[in-house]
Chains A and B, each alone.
Chain A
Amino acid sequence: MIIETHDLTKTYGNKTACSSINLSVQEGHIYGFLGRNGAGKSTCIKMLTGLVHPTSGSGTVLGKPLGNVSIRAKMGYLPELFRYQDWMTGLDLLNFHSNLIKLKNKEDQIKRVLKLVGLEGQEKYKVGSFSKGMQQRIGLACALLPNPKLLFLDEPTSALDPIGRKDVRDIIVQLKNEGTTVFLNSHLLSEVEAVCDYVTFINKGTVLLSAPIEELLTSKIQLSIKAEHVSENLFETLKGKYDTFHRVEDGSFLVDLKEREEITDIASAFFSDGSLLYELVPQKETLESVFLKLVGEPIKKK
């Protein structure tokens, strides 16, 4: 495991930011870390990057204990509240960070990361004159400078437009293909869903669920059925067979299925009953629906 933590806890006075966090991140994975604002995600990342000292618990990153300095040469980190020396040009900033990590082939590497984040030709301008999106891109370039084995991205697309977001998604996938492990903290669930192999949900500093994303999204199928003249007998039969079968407010029915094959059984039952079947729509579980079930309720429409 490239990251492993055991009961990692951080408290600030009476406030617990993270409580008994146990993580196991496999090398080469894109690991999504999800939770509401203030759930403790950034604190956890800061403990993993050595910026915050855990109150209790232990862990290893790249095989070394938390806080080890030498591993940071193989690690990249894009902070949530990215801020860089705005009096420097983009090139100065990358040179400065190259010197901090004692990069040998810095000129080639700087060119490579500038191209990767789409800032080629912009490097001679001052960071202070960059737009927020460009600043986030230059931050990502800094994080990518050491060719990291492990990359921490804390809200990497918060300041980017849709094209920029797609660019970052592509970069993440490219990094994965090159063998980099990415620890991704993002509120954009569609983004996480698109790229992550594994996700952990955290709320109020506690891990709620950790699972491979495939398992989460394909573990069940929710079927929406629109039909009329459904007999009481059919309703009771289906209710008996499927615990989750129920009628919703608009008169349609919902049922959770374990396998796709069950859809045909249900369709047959409606035809046999003589009901008028208008729609049979399997609704795929999304990360958003899992997230909302786990960490909060959606805002109810009035």
Chain B
Amino acid sequence: MPADQFRPFAIQMVTKIGLQFSSTLIALLTIMLGSGTVASELENGLIHGILSRPIYRYQYILGKLFGLTIITSIYATVLYSAVLLIGAFYELNTITSLSFTQIAQGWFLYLLQPIAVLCITMYGSVSLKTVPNGILIIFIYILGSVGGMVEMMGLYLNNNSVIGTGIFVSLISPIQVIYSTMERVLLANSQMVSNFMPGASLSGSGKPASDWMFVYIGIYMLVFVILSVYKFSHKDIS
């Protein structure tokens, strides 16, 4: 590959790696923060003193979720800003060419991913002990990436059953869909996407997610929050 063609490719790869790495980091950080949020207090008995106060159990869960969402959002915003600032500092045209709308949309999606992880983690924390919960949520997170890869392979192979399998896996774990959409928003004019991987994202998902997929993700998050509240409200604090 000639050098003048390689440079844009390299810039896109560096941008992508920065986004992917920071996004994975924030997801793992969220899992670390969230997996023991209820479970550890149940395990060490800290919760007895709190729940014997005049607070409803849903308030406890929503309070935890709210607090962790704020912490996660701050971390995610710092990381997102860092990626963009580093890119701008080194004058990567993938970053310097971004419009305000792209940055805002990318930021929203960048935040949405750990918050979605948090919703699942919260349900796990109500149901399982800290360590098994952490392992399970990491597995679910990885499963999402696998789903995207399977869908992408299905597109290349033009095999509907493989595509369907990928979509099904993405429905179980739609976290990767959020990431790949963010990547599409931020790297919309990517030469690599248009030249080498038409119709596919860099992160290994197939077609761009539809608006309905985001409605599904919203419902998915809400269901896990409701399940957490329901399960915790019926739980014996022994």
Instruction: Give the chain B neighbours of A77 by CB distance below 8 A.
Output: 48-49, 52
Which of the residues A12, A50, A97, A102 comes within 8 Å of B49, measured between beta carbons?
A: A97
Decide: B52 and A51 in contact? CB cutoff 8 A. Answer: yes
- Asked if A51 meets B45 with Cβ closer than 8 Å, knowing A69-B54, A101-B54, the reply is no
Q: Smallest CB–CB gap between B152 and chain A, Å?
A: 46
Instruction: Give the chain A neighbours of B237 by CB distance below 8 A.
Output: 46, 51-52
Cα distance, A97 to B51, chains bound together (Å): 11
- Asked if A46 meets B49 with Cβ closer than 8 Å, knowing A70-B54, A101-B54, the reply is no
Asked whether B211 is an interface residue with its Cβ less than 8 Å from the other chain, the reply is: no
Asked whether B56 is an interface residue with its Cβ less than 8 Å from the other chain, the reply is: yes
Cα distance, A148 to B188, chains bound together (Å): 63
Decide: A51 and B50 in contact? CB cutoff 8 A. Answer: no
Q: Please, what's the 1-or-0 string for B71-104, where 1 marks a CB less than 8 Å from any CB in chain A?
A: 0000000000000000000000000000000000
- Interface footprint category on B: 10 to 19
Q: Smallest CB–CB gap between A43 and chain B, Å?
A: 7
Q: Closest A residue to B233 by CB, please name it.
A: A53
- Asked if A84 meets B52 with Cβ closer than 8 Å, knowing A46-B237, A53-B234, the reply is no
Asked whether A125 is an interface residue with its Cβ less than 8 Å from the other chain, the reply is: no
Asked whether A139 is an interface residue with its Cβ less than 8 Å from the other chain, the reply is: yes
How many residues of chain A get a CB closer than 8 Å to chain B's CBs? 28
Cα distance, A49 to B45, chains bound together (Å): 15
Decide: B53 and A72 in contact? CB cutoff 8 A. Answer: yes
Asked whether A75 is an interface residue with its Cβ less than 8 Å from the other chain, the reply is: yes
Secondary structure class of chain B's binding surface, majority of residues: loop
Asked whether B238 is an interface residue with its Cβ less than 8 Å from the other chain, the reply is: yes
Asked whether B4 is an interface residue with its Cβ less than 8 Å from the other chain, the reply is: no
Q: Which of B202-238 contact A (CB under 8 A)?
A: 234, 236-238
Cα distance, A12 to B238, chains bound together (Å): 11
Decide: B238 and A81 in contact? CB cutoff 8 A. Answer: no
Q: Please, what's the 1-or-0 string for A97-122, where 1 marks a CB less than 8 Å from any CB in chain B?
A: 10011100000000000000000000
Asked whether A142 is an interface residue with its Cβ less than 8 Å from the other chain, the reply is: yes
Q: Closest B residue to A70 by CB, please name it.
A: B54
Residues of A within 8 A of B (CB): 12, 43, 46, 49-53, 69-73, 75, 77, 79, 81-85, 97, 100-102, 139, 142, 152
Residues of B within 8 A of A (CB): 44-46, 48-56, 234, 236-238
**Which 7 pairs show the lowest CB-CB distances between chains A and B?**
A100-B53, A79-B48, A51-B237, A77-B52, A72-B54, A83-B45, A81-B45
